[in-house]
Amino acid sequence: MSSTYLPAGLPAPSSGPDGLAEPYWEATRQNRLRIQKCQGCGAWQWGPEWCCHECHSFDMAWEDIQGEGVIYSYERPHHPVHAALVGHGPYIIVLVELPAYGRVRMVGNLLGDPRQTVEIGAKVSAVFEPHDGYTLVQWKLG
């Protein structure tokens, strides 16, 4: 049995050609969750951008946050979206809202029984799943 939720063979995530998301991936490899915060107006944001979504300042910083939120939405795919996922469905993808951080929303898998009942508003916490060279953020109830 695998020690990870996702099977081997999936492509590794990328920081993009500009490397903007590297502080996020660096933090996940250390079991920390980090998102951007504007140093001008204090707004939190995810995904990473060069400027603030609120005030358009370029004075963005990366700050560690607590990985606690609520399920905002979810999807239960039954069909594999990648060859490595053949035979591994269904699974649950959740959109998690982080109320303490400006209602930022992040996507990840919900760990546990893929046929479980999913409740909008249920509390979840981040779980760090190490892979070869990167770490994914998954979510668990509670």
What is the average pLDDT score of the chain? 92
Nearest to 4 by CA among 117, 130, 113: 130
pLDDT above 50 for 74: yes
Nearest to 37 by CA among 96, 108, 104, 95: 104
**For 17-50, what is each residue's pLDDT tens digit?**
788 999 999 999 999 999 999 999 999 999 999 9
Where exactly are the structural domains of the chain? 14-65, 67-142
Please give the Cα distance from 74 to 70 (Å, whole number): 11
Please give the Cα distance from 29 to 128 (Å, whole number): 8
In three-state secondary structure terms, 84 is helix
Q: Which two tokens stand for residue 2?
A: 């695998």
Q: Do strands 68-75 and 104-109 pair parallel, antiparallel, or not at all (unpaired)?
A: unpaired
Q: Which two tokens stand for residue 21?
A: 């998301």
pTM reported for the whole predicted model: 0.89
Q: Which two tokens stand for residue 98?
A: 């982080």
Q: What percent of the chain has pLDDT over 90?
A: 74
Predicted confidence band of residue 5 (pLDDT cuts 50, 70, 90): confident
pLDDT above 70 for 1: no
Which class does domain 67-142 fall in?
mainly beta
Query: Residue 46: what pLDDT?
Result: 96
